[in-house]
Amino acid sequence: MASNNFIDYVKVCSRSGHGGAGSAHLHRDKKTAKGGPDGGDGGRGGHVILKGNAQLWTLLHLQYRKHVIAENGLNGGSSHSSGAQGNDEVLEVPLGTIARNAETGEVMCEITEDGQEIILTPGGRGGLGNAHFKSPTNQTPRYAQPGEEGIEEWVILELKLLADVGLVGFPNAGKSTLLSVVSAAKPKIANYAFTTLTPNLGVVAYRDYKSFVMADIPGIIEGASEGKGLGIRFLRHIERNSILLFMISCESPDIVEEYKVLLNELKTFNPELLDKKRLLAITKSDMLDEELEKEMRGTLPEDLPTVFISSITGKNLTQLKDMIWNALNS
């Protein structure tokens, strides 16, 4: 996916339709001079609806659509004729989309399943016609209900990618290379920092036709929570991951310190991220001999499952998949 086509945040004005007014009509024809009330109800205003679409991966199609306006309901008519309902406005969004009220920040709804429909902004109710108000003491009511007005509000749509495993690491740690080797994804790979500018998803094939989804987000650096590098904008995409796979290059002068820096940036963004299961992969380990690898392993946290891998030679990639699968199903 081209980086300039990945849109994960849009702000739209959502306006539902007004309800139609009820009719205050009194029946008249050439044979009936005073036939009584026969006013119909007004039609409901159209809803603005969010619908999940598994074929979408971005909010690009909504980037330049700032106003979403549903149709108004029509007024009621004579002979108990109800007004037509306003047409709903359906916005198809990728799975993992959250809608927030732009003013309060309150989460309004969340789309997680294909075909799931949620009313984002409900349309106004249609007014009752005067036929509803007749009674023995008021046989010719000459009034009816007006339609309820629709709602107009600014809504933020925010996409959080749905994946089982999120890759976390500094730039050039080998995250994109791993994703390209274990899945069919084709992320941009180059020997400079911040090659990855947008998140990438890949489906990783496992034993017996099983699979899991891996998400690669742009690299984090110390101070990202203060806006350095690419900041923490893309960290929202790992909030839903079951497992966080920390990836640190064996070339790092201090692996433990780098791991602590990454943890601190996650904690600053959202402390709940530290409650997720964590794994550690030491990348580019084809450059290490057994003695050096054993020495490095002794300096790593004992309670953190760790594997030394190489995406180029394929070293321990099967072991990494086994570790991820066991963590997902434990």
**What fold, for 1-160?**
Spo0b-associated Gtp-binding Protein; Chain: A, (2.70.210)
Rounded to two decimals, what is the model's pTM?
0.70
Which residues in the chain are classed under CATH 2.70.210.12? Answer: 1-160
CA distance linking residue 255 with residue 292, whole number of Å:
14
The average pLDDT across 179-198 equals 62
CB 59, CB 157: distance < 8 Å = yes
Q: Taking 80 as the threshold, does the pLDDT of residue 277 lie above it?
A: yes
Binding residues: 169-176, 194-198, 216-219, 283-286, 310-312
Binding residues for Mg(2+): 176, 196
Q: Convert the pLDDT of each residue in 122-167 to its tens digit.
A: 999 999 999 999 999 998 899 999 999 999 999 999 887 777 888 8
CA angle 54, 237, 2 (to 5 degrees): 65
SS (H, E, C) 265-279: HHHHHCHHHHHCEEE
CA distance linking residue 271 with residue 260, whole number of Å:
14
For residue 32, what are the CA distances in angstroms to 90, 117, 278?
Answer: 46, 48, 81
Q: In this predicted structure, what is the pLDDT of residue 3?
A: 45
Which residues in the chain are classed under CATH 3.40.50.300? Answer: 165-329
Binding residues for GTP: 169-176, 194-198, 216-219, 283-286, 310-312
The average pLDDT across 236-241 equals 76
CA distance linking residue 201 with residue 187, whole number of Å:
9
**What fold, for 165-329?**
Rossmann fold (3.40.50)
